[in-house]
Structure 1
Amino acid sequence: MAVLVVLLVLVLTKPGFSQSNDGDNVMIGMYCGRNTLISLPNFIKNRNSTFNELRMQLLSKGVPYARAQALSAGDSVYSAVQCRNYLSVDQCVACFDAGVSKLANCISGNGGFISFDNCSIRYEDYADFYNDPYVMEDVNRTPNVLCGNQSSSQPTVFNQVVDGFLSDIRDATPKTSNLYVASTRQITGENATVYVTAQCAGSINQAICQTCMNTAYDKLNDCLPNTEGRFFHMGCFARYSDTPFFNVNQTTDITNFIKRHSSNVTIIAAVVAGVVLILLFLLSWLLYRSWKKSKMTEQDFEGAEHYNYKDLQLATNNFSEENILGRGGFGEVFKAVLDDTNVVAVKKLLIHHDGAKEEFENEIKLISNIHHRNLLRLLGWSIEGSYLLLVLEYMPNGSLDRFLWGAKRGTLNWNQRYEIVFGIARGLAHLHDEFHIKIVHRDIKSSNILLSDDFKPKIADFGLARFQPEDQSHVSTKFAGTLGYTAPEYAVHGVLSEKVDTYSFGIVILEIISGKRSTEVKSHSQSTDYLLENTWKLYEKKMHVKVIDDTLSLNRYEQEHVMKIIEIALLCTQSPASIRPTMSEVVLMLQEGQSLGKRQLTRPTFVNNQDRRVYIGTQVHNRVDVRKKGMNIA
């Protein structure tokens, strides 16, 4: 009950990193999320519920790592706590209570974390970190490093011993069964002992732990010759000090996890063996290069795992009809169960059509290195004869279009729809502005938005995506995409920029709000206006409330909110492309509840999909050839 009392006393403080000392439990860092929530009371209620569950697990199970989730009312919260293994249950709970007390100040954002010497706590509105705390977004965060202010009396000896010790800890930690070590080492000539502990998050694997520990080793070396240092990242924690902070009977024997060379003979032998291995490697590499040039088979794609075709065939029950998740011009997507527990999606592309292999390789190269909560994750690939297979993250709820006009029509409430709009915007902003290169998706549409079990959206199908050079405002290329979602300047003239995705996003917003396809004409009417033109005409009459899906039951506040989002959609679909907002601007508008601000809407350019012509005012511009390579007609 104590933790609940603390949580009810919420005091607003400025989010940011800080350090403090609570007795022997130093706070290394704290951060409060900044993304706006749909319903703050619901989110706080769910957060408090997970905190209460975490505390109960720490007390009743006596475990150093616990997780909890609360998914009610559409404001999901995922939380985790990890205590150092050398703590007693009471010490662990005391650290947790101290963290919860401080995190109670995070009352305006969508998550937060805090790290002490003794424990770390984190909560978010998305599940990625819950299963894999070292996602790409976390890699981009700056690690927290806190160095002591006292230097060793014998810096040369101290540096040498501690550097070697930290190196051993780095190598040993990922190899232990619980990804945790605590060990000591004597400083020769100083009559002193160094204490070191390292711990990786309870939900990650050995490889991810090793990556995090490599960073910890590099960063803690910067603290030398100071007599203590602390490191915290989302994936791991490490600390060294010449002052005891655990008992000598709580150490881990790391002897079997590190390599030692006891003689010059061993060193010489290792060097000779290394030279031989290098020569063999070079020979193998030359043979491989020669073979690769002469034969089009499997290719190496950094960041994506190669899967055995037969394993995927078995996991999909020989690509049976009952396992099909979807079909398209590219081929089919199947549900697959690997190792009896791991559910994935397998995208089976047919190499028979022109450009299939190019699209396949393009998709791997692009998304194998992109990780974001709103972008579908590529797990691996396989090639077998004429079949090209992509192994993708499985999304239990399938594509968004099923919930707008398909079998699940009318089951999404407004909060869920808004979260989907916001998630798509964040994913596109990452592609356009946050990744190290600008990527244009080119085929944003409702069927390419997949939904997780808690209805969080992920952008899928990067087969048509393209890089955009930083020094160019656009590139000229042949049209490839889906009419009904494609910007006029691209459909007619092949002018491609990130604003093409912005246009498509605006159309998807209108589909989410209306529950109608972009090419669907208004029911019970002689009008042939498609969704965008119909929405614009209603907006001109200040009647765009009529665009809202009949299945939505909205209160006055929600109705006003939806109308603002409609205005953002119209802003995204304006022409010329230069007056459309960037996706980063759209994210801010959605976060802050803004719509137009000082902007004035202009009439969009409409694409008539019946005769595939573009209408600007009363003029008819170039007819779009629907036979162009790569075109999908909605």
Structure 2
Amino acid sequence: MTKANQSIPYQRIFFCFFGYVLLRERVVVGDPRSQTVQVMCGRQLEHNATIFVPNFVATMENISEQMRASGFGVAVSGSGPDINYGLAQCYGDLSLLDCVLCYAEARTILPQCYPYNGGRIYLDGCFMRAENYSFYEEYLGPGDKAVCGNTTRKKSTFAESTRQAVSQAVTSASNNQGYARVQLTVPGTNESAYVLANCWKTLNASSCRACLENATASILGCLPWSEGRALYTGCFMRYSDIDFLNDELGNGSSRGSNEAQKLARTLNNSSLNFKYSTLEKATGSFDDTNKLGQGGFGSVYKVVLY
């Protein structure tokens, strides 16, 4: 069979076609921010690979279903020393599509921690963790730290605006189910300080605030540099002089769009096959300029179908 006559299975083109439909339907699609910030692997080796691996895969599959519906998921598979607890969450400004793309990237990377039985990965748009014990209520840990972007030094006015924005984000997130975004103009300039703060949804309000307050102490140590991230057991925080935040929909969150969920269900219930020649044309011969990222099914491309 020639390449031009081949059909590409639905699963392999799900993300690129889904992205095309969302764009056609004018649903807000932003940046999945799937860049890896840090991977932290555990130090305990798995107990029995023939049991551990299927448990891990089952946990990730269970979480995948939840992520496609709400951008958050927890699951437990197995028992005894080979039990696997998992958690994944996208940050509050990601759309449903962006969340799926970010999670797909995280899911391809976290298994690199094997043969250790635990690990976590922080991406700029989502978080994922797996362990052999229930960690859902943990909010501080020995690996907590700040990662600074040592590229541009800012003036004291930016530093002061950042401190204020971070403080506002901590207060707001504690009263907003663990999520906040803040933009604060730097006086006398055309710059702004942008801040995102997000706790994992398994934490209560007091644990969330405690996590963010500890994260604040670390992240402000990145000043006067223009970028900082706090990677904590129970939360993530970032500040920058660049607007990295996605636009929000009218309901105050860019995730959970009814249109996006309806389209996801439609595609899930469809049997879609496209000829290779059609996809080749739609992606400009799979040109890198049309590549959206790398997900669990391989490369993800933007397509334009005529």
Q: TM-score range by the shorter chain?
A: 0.5 to 0.7
Task: State the alpha-carbon separation in 2 of the partners of residues 159 and 125 from structure 1.
Answer: 41
Task: State the alpha-carbon separation in 1 of the partners of residues 111 and 224 from structure 2.
Answer: 37
| CA distance 1:145–1:116, change in 2 (3 Å) | same
CA deviations 1:149-186 (Å, max 9, x no partner) are 23345x1111111111112212221122x210112111
The answer as to whether partners of 1:30 and 1:115 remain within 8 angstroms in 2 is yes
Task: State the alpha-carbon separation in 2 of the partners of residues 29 and 114 from structure 1.
Answer: 6
Figure out how many residues of one structure are paired with residues of the other and give that number. 224
Query: How far did residue 39 of structure 1 move?
Result: 1.0
Counterparts of residues 115-126 of structure 1 (less than 5 Å)? 115-126=122-133
Task: State the alpha-carbon separation in 2 of the partners of residues 163 and 124 from structure 1.
Answer: 34
The answer as to whether partners of 2:32 and 2:98 remain within 8 angstroms in 1 is no
User: Counterpart in 2 of 1:5?
Assistant: none
Task: State the alpha-carbon separation in 1 of the partners of residues 174 and 32 from structure 2.
Answer: 30
User: Could you tell me which of 90, 101, 111 is aligned with 1:94?
Assistant: 101
Query: How far did residue 93 of structure 1 move?
Result: 1.4
Task: State the alpha-carbon separation in 1 of the partners of residues 79 and 160 from structure 2.
Answer: 54
| CA distance 1:248–1:205, change in 2 (3 Å) | same
User: Counterpart in 1 of 2:146?
Assistant: 145
1:31 is aligned with what amino acid? M
CA deviations 1:281-335 (Å, max 9, x no partner) are xxxxxxxxxxxxxxxxxxxxxxxxxxxxxxxxxxxxxxxxxxxxxxxxxxxxxxx
User: Counterpart in 1 of 2:24?
Assistant: none
User: Could you tell me which of 53, 69, 80 is aligned with 2:62?
Assistant: 53
| CA distance 1:180–1:32, change in 2 (3 Å) | same
Query: How far did residue 142 of structure 1 move?
Result: 2.8
Task: State the alpha-carbon separation in 2 of the partners of residues 187 and 252 from structure 1.
Answer: 28
- Answer with 1 or 2: which has the greater Rg: 1
User: Counterpart in 2 of 1:112?
Assistant: 119
Task: State the alpha-carbon separation in 2 of the partners of residues 91 and 249 from structure 1.
Answer: 13
Task: State the alpha-carbon separation in 2 of the partners of residues 74 and 159 from structure 1.
Answer: 47
User: Counterpart in 1 of 2:37?
Assistant: 28
2:143 is aligned with what amino acid? T
Query: How far did residue 248 of structure 1 move?
Result: 4.9
The answer as to whether partners of 1:174 and 1:180 remain within 8 angstroms in 2 is yes
CA deviations 1:317-376 (Å, max 9, x no partner) are xxxxxxxxxxxxxxxxxxxxxxxxxxxxxxxxxxxxxxxxxxxxxxxxxxxxxxxxxxxx
CA deviations 1:193-237 (Å, max 9, x no partner) are 221110111101111111111111111111111111111111110
| CA distance 1:171–1:156, change in 2 (3 Å) | same
Structure 2 residue 50 is the aligned partner of structure 1 residue 41: yes
| CA distance 1:30–1:247, change in 2 (3 Å) | closer
The answer as to whether partners of 2:84 and 2:131 remain within 8 angstroms in 1 is yes
Task: State the alpha-carbon separation in 2 of the partners of residues 216 and 74 from structure 1.
Answer: 32
The answer as to whether partners of 1:220 and 1:229 remain within 8 angstroms in 2 is yes
Counterparts of residues 257-406 of structure 1 (less than 5 Å)? none
Tell me the TM-score normalized by structure 2.
0.68
The answer as to whether partners of 2:229 and 2:238 remain within 8 angstroms in 1 is yes
Segments ≥4 residues shifted beyond 4 Å: 248-253
Task: State the alpha-carbon separation in 1 of the partners of residues 204 and 159 from structure 2.
Answer: 30
The answer as to whether partners of 1:181 and 1:251 remain within 8 angstroms in 2 is no
User: Counterpart in 2 of 1:347?
Assistant: none
Counterparts of residues 496-507 of structure 1 (less than 5 Å)? none
User: Counterpart in 1 of 2:78?
Assistant: 71
Task: State the alpha-carbon separation in 2 of the partners of residues 248 and 110 from structure 1.
Answer: 37
The answer as to whether partners of 1:183 and 1:251 remain within 8 angstroms in 2 is no
Query: How far did residue 126 of structure 1 move?
Result: 0.8
| CA distance 1:24–1:89, change in 2 (3 Å) | closer
1:151 is aligned with what amino acid? T
The answer as to whether partners of 1:182 and 1:252 remain within 8 angstroms in 2 is no
The answer as to whether partners of 2:89 and 2:128 remain within 8 angstroms in 1 is yes
Query: How far did residue 242 of structure 1 move?
Result: 1.5
Task: State the alpha-carbon separation in 2 of the partners of residues 144 and 25 from structure 1.
Answer: 20
Query: How far did residue 108 of structure 1 move?
Result: 1.2
| CA distance 1:209–1:144, change in 2 (3 Å) | same
Tell me the TM-score normalized by structure 1.
0.34
User: Counterpart in 1 of 2:235?
Assistant: 236
User: Counterpart in 2 of 1:559?
Assistant: none
Structure 2 residue 168 is the aligned partner of structure 1 residue 168: yes
Task: State the alpha-carbon separation in 2 of the partners of residues 246 and 68 from structure 1.
Answer: 29
Counterparts of residues 172-571 of structure 1 (less than 5 Å)? 172-176=172-176, 178-249=177-248
Unaligned runs of 5+ in 2: 1-10, 13-30, 253-306
- RMSD of aligned C-alpha atoms? 2.4
